[in-house]
Copies of this chain bind each other. A is one copy, B any other.
Amino acid sequence: MNKFIRVDMTTLEVKTEEVPEKYIGLGGRGLTSNFVADEVKPTCHPLGKNNKLIFAPGLLSGTSAPNSGRISVGAKSPLTGTIKESNSGGSFSQKMARMGIKALVIEGIPKDDKFYVIIVTMDGVTIEEAPEEILGGVGNYKAIEVLSEKYGQKVGIAIAGPAGEYRLPTANISFKDPEGNIRSAGRGGLGAVMGSKKVKALVIDDTGAGAVPIADVEKFRSAAKVFAKALMDHPVSGEGLAAYGTDVLVNIINEAGGFPSYNFTTGRIDHNDNISGETLNATITERNGEGKVAHGCHPGCVIKCSQWYPDKKGKYITSGFEYETIWGLGGDSGIKDLDDIAYIDRAMDDVGVDSIEIAVAVAVAMEGGLLPWGDGKAVLDVVEQIAVPTPMGRIIGGGTSIVGKLCGLFRVPVVKDQGIPAYDPRPIKGIGLTYATGTMGADHTFGYCISGNILSIGGSIDPLKKEGQIEYSRAMQIGTAAVDTTGMCLFVYFGIADSPEGYQALIDMINAQYGLSLTAEDVDKLGENILKVEREFNKAAGFTNAHDRLPEFFEYEPLPPHNVVWDFTPEEIDEVYNF
């Protein structure tokens, strides 16, 4: 990967550069975060001409390393105002890597009001006006079909849906997956940045691209084999996720009393059977929909956590139907019908919004009286209104913090204006530290302390106690920053956390590909440096320790059934970033 492509949307010019020296050892989030910190003015308006949007494959993307096909997208976030990296499946990352493109950067804002499509091939980059038939609220499913017909079924596509066109703070960037369906770089509103630059879609065609060069092919192959075995040997990554998807967590987290429901007023619900992974699996099996139960979000995935959920006639409704979305609609918003939730999930993918942010916002809207509790049809209707957008569509599309303000509520579960996902920080304290201190607002994937707090993977820490959590959240955040740099799916962690050989194999693959000799310590350093760079950006953008706090109500509203509150002191929280 030796090319750095810059597209200037103000002049509609494209420049190809050598990769700057300092970025050579970086990929994925390591690259996007360093790039944003280097080139984006921290106090700039996220939707203004001074923000930049960067797409970067991971260090291992495009190789035969299992699960290495995640694409990272970075910018200053319109939702949080912080630095932001969001990653996704799809085939985009591997195509970029095979074409030798280390990063694709979109800068500036066009002078006119037209939307464009950027087409990347081995012959170069062209910018065309976007076809009318994919604009003005046309859904992603249809738009991807149109673009695939126009540019070839095998192209990779990144697209800003209707929400991105309208530059709403919850807009995601959607990626076409190997089966033509939708994967998303969901959190932080990066679709709005893409929309602000008037880029409706990126199309990538790797026809003619060769294989990614590997310095030591033999070493790479054998390490990849060890790595794949580690993933397959672990019950979660080798079996559980394929059978039940991430939705396997409904019963686990509900049982733990950390399933925040009805806008974070209780940690356990009675209707968990309606929406659990077991029910999901049984329903899919019974309906025998198109394809099998389990799919990967990108080529080369061996975990295959993605569930294709069909309707009663077996016709595909949605995939990438994740625990957090099902929690947000099923638990936090009290929708008891899994079909309703599936249709809403599809609608969110179609309109191009972060399904976690919208689900958390919906629950707040329910507390605020804007929507009736548990009414799946009403929620579907509102999500579809984002495509218009109606005033109500805009409100929900504004995300949790704005919905909270427009409803005049103080029970608004956000950190740095990003909605808190599916694990309550009161009875699962480790994840609360990640929410509070993460550089991108509340995000479970930023340092997934559920592993050690609930799943007993990579150790075991009492979720109800404060002991050990500060060090644990810190370590998980550092490790995650490193993993996010490789292009690896985060779920590889389950495979390598308890397998020293698996972890070493991951490092060996990087070393074999690049002819390096990194140690585990180097990888830790890499993770630490990424967090420091991100935090410095935020500091310059105006963030302080005062923003590393959970909403106040967690401190005085005990959560049933454990009836515990959030009791970390500010000083303790600030210890997480003491490294």
Residues facing B in A192-208 (CB within 8 A) are 192, 195-196
Q: Can you list, as one digit per residue, whether each of A388-399 has a CB less than 8 Å from chain B (1) or not (0)? A: 001110110110
CB distance from A461 to the nearest CB of B (A): 27
A50 with B552, Cβ < 8 A, contacts A391-B391, A392-B391, A546-B542 known: yes
Bound form: Cα–Cα A166–B47 in Å: 30
Size class of the contact patch on chain A = 35 or more
Contacts of A17-49 to chain B: CB distance below 8 A: 42-49
Chain B residues with Cβ under 8 A from A556's Cβ? 49
Smallest CB–CB gap between A9 and chain B, Å?
A: 14
In the bound complex, do residue A546 and residue B552 qualify as a contact, i.e. CB atoms below 8 Å apart? Answer: no
Q: A549 interface residue, CB < 8 Å from B? A: yes
Contact A45 B410 (CB under 8 A): yes
Given contacts A48-B410, A167-B408, A408-B166, contact A542 B552 (CB under 8 A): no
Least CB distance from A290 to B in Å reads 36
Once A196-B408, A402-B402, A409-B47 are accepted as A-B contacts, the answer to whether A42 and B546 lie under 8 Å apart by CB is: yes
A216 to chain B, nearest CB (A): 46
- Residue contact A541 to B546, C-beta cutoff 8 Å: yes
Cα distance A552–B42 when bound, in Å?
11
Write out, one digit per residue, whether chain A residues 505-519 have a CB within 8 A of any chain B CB (1) or not (0): 000000000000000
Contacts of A168 in B (CB 8 A): 406, 408
Q: Which residue of B lies closest to A370 (CB)?
A: B391
Asked if A553 is an interface residue, CB under 8 A from chain B, the answer is yes
> Shortest distance in angstroms between A527's beta carbon and chain B's nearest beta carbon?
26
A438 at interface (Cβ–Cβ under 8 A)?
no
Q: A378: CB under 8 A from chain B?
A: no
Q: Mark A546-560, 1 if CB is under 8 A from B, else 0.
A: 110101110010000
Q: Which residue of B lies closest to A538 (CB)?
A: B546
Of B44, B405, B407, which one neighbours A552 at CB under 8 angstroms?
B44
Which residues of chain B are within 8 angstroms of A405 by Cβ–Cβ distance?
78, 169, 398, 402
Which residues of A (373-404) have their CB < 8 Å from a CB of B? 390-392, 394-395, 397-398, 402
Which residue in chain B gives the minimum CB-CB distance to A50?
A: B552
Q: Is the CB of B546 within 8 A of A540?
A: yes
A543 beta carbon closer than 8 Å to chain B: yes
Closest to A541 in B: B546
Which residue from chain B places its CB closest to the CB of A171 in the assembled complex? B408
Name the distance in Å between A192's Cβ and chain B's nearest Cβ. Answer: 6
A544: Cβ under 8 A from any B Cβ: yes
Interchain CB contact under 8 A, B552 and A48: yes
Q: Give bound CA distance, A234 to B420, whole Å.
A: 58
In the complex, chain B residues whose CB is within 8 Å of the CB of A409: 47, 167
Query: Given contacts A48-B410, A196-B408, A392-B391, is CB(A43)–CB(B552) below 8 Å?
Result: yes
In whole angstroms, what is the CA distance A50 to B169 when docked? 29
Which residues on the B side are within 8 Å of A42 (C-beta)? Answer: 546
- For A167, the chain B residues whose CB sits under 8 A away are 407-409
A51 to chain B, nearest CB (A): 9
A408 adjacent to B45 (CB under 8 Å): no
Q: Which chain B residue shows the least CB distance to A549?
A: B43
Bound complex: CA A365 to CA B546 (Å)? 32
> Known contacts A408-B192, A546-B540: does B45 contact A552 (CB below 8 Å)?
yes
Distance of A406 Cα from B405 Cα, bound (Å): 13
CA distance A370 to B391 in the complex (A): 9
Asked whether A553 and B45 contact (CB < 8 A) given A196-B408, A540-B546, the answer is yes
Among A394, A398, A412, find the residue whose CB has the most chain B CB atoms closer than 10 A: A394
Contacts of A553 in B (CB 8 A): 45, 48
- 6 A-B residue pairs with CB within 8 Å: A43-B546, A43-B552, A45-B551, A47-B409, A166-B408, A544-B544
Q: When chains A and B are docked, how far (Å) is the Cα of A50 from the Cα of B195? A: 39
